[in-house]
Structure 1
Amino acid sequence: MSTQTMTRTATTDTAEPVTAPALPADNRTGDGYDWMDTLEGTAWSVLPNWGSEGWDAGSWPYVIFAVARTRDGYGELFGYGTCVEGDTSTHWFRTQDACFEAITAEVFFHWACGQSDGPDNLPVTAAGLPVQDRKPYPGWMA
């Protein structure tokens, strides 16, 4: 049984203060695959794919996405975090739609830069992606 570390933060979409599960930090003793192992027993799980065709969400072991879902006294909280070459960051949202939009924007960035495999015909911006590519791959469940 893992003891979940909690952190005080603010939601990105509503700017309200919340206490939510902390994303484990990279301890710099291994690679991204080792960091993914640190998620076991926490509220976080790796997000491998994004969009209707399950394109890469990141580029393991250098760019890794993780997601979490929790509840506080005011309702549900939806989080995503990244580990990019050892640097971690976390974002929490009060709504799932806002979280999906933020993940889409960050995944799109990595697709557009050629850092991970995405759709062949990318639009100019993430906002131009069709709705089916702005949410998790249907074959994946968190």
Structure 2
Amino acid sequence: MSTQTLTHTITTDTLEPVTAPVLPADDRAGDGYDWMDTLEGTAWSVLPNWGSEGRDAGSWPYIIVAVARTRDRNGEPFGYGICVEGDTATHWFRSQDACFEAVSAEVFYHWISGQSDGPDSLPATAAVLPEQDRKPYPGWTS
């Protein structure tokens, strides 16, 4: 059982303060698979795939994307976190659509740089990805 730790942060899209679940830090004792185990029992879930075809959202065990949502008095903040070779970062959004756009940009970066397996034909920027590739893979249910 994991104890949920909260942090005070600012949403990226609306710049409002929120209290949200902390993305567990990498303790550097193992690899990315071990870090994914630290998410168990927290608000965070690993996001393995992205877009209509379920392309890699990261490149395990080196690049791992995680998502979370929480509830406060103003609604539901949506978060995504990333662990790249042990370094973690977290981003929170008031809007789920804004969070999806940010995840798309993150995933696109790893696709275009060849770090993750993405579509064969990629546009110049994430902003012009087809709409169906700027959303979670439909088979993902978490």
TM-score higher than 0.5: yes
Alignment map for 1:75-90 (pairs within 5 Å): 75-90=75-90
Structure 1: which 4+ aligned runs deviate by more than 4 Å? none
1:40-51 matches, cutoff 5 A: 40-51=40-51
Q: How far apart are residue 2 of structure 1 and its match?
A: 2.4
Match of residue 32 from structure 1: 32
Task: Map Cα deviations across residues 46-73 of structure 1 (whole Å, 9 max, x no partner).
Answer: 0000000000001000000000011001
Residue segments in structure 2 that go unaligned for 5+ positions in a row: none
How far is 1:141 from its partner? 1.5
Partner of 1:106: 106
Which residues of 2 match residues 114-125 of structure 1 at below 5 A? 114-125=114-125
Give, as a single letter, the amino acid of the residue that structure 2 aligns with 1:117: D
Matching residue's letter, 1:126: A
Residue correspondences, number: 142
SS of equivalent to 2:71: strand
SS of 1:83's partner is strand
Q: Cα deviation per residue 1:78-129 (whole Å; 9 max; x = unaligned)?
A: 0000000000000000000000000000000000000000000000100111
The aligned counterpart of 1:136 is: 136
Q: Counterparts of 1:129 and 1:119 in 2: how far apart (Å)?
A: 10
Q: Indicate the RMSD between aligned Cα atoms, in angstroms.
A: 0.6
Provide structure 1 residue ranges, at least 5 long, that are not aligned to the other structure: none
Q: TM-score, length-normalised on structure 2?
A: 0.99
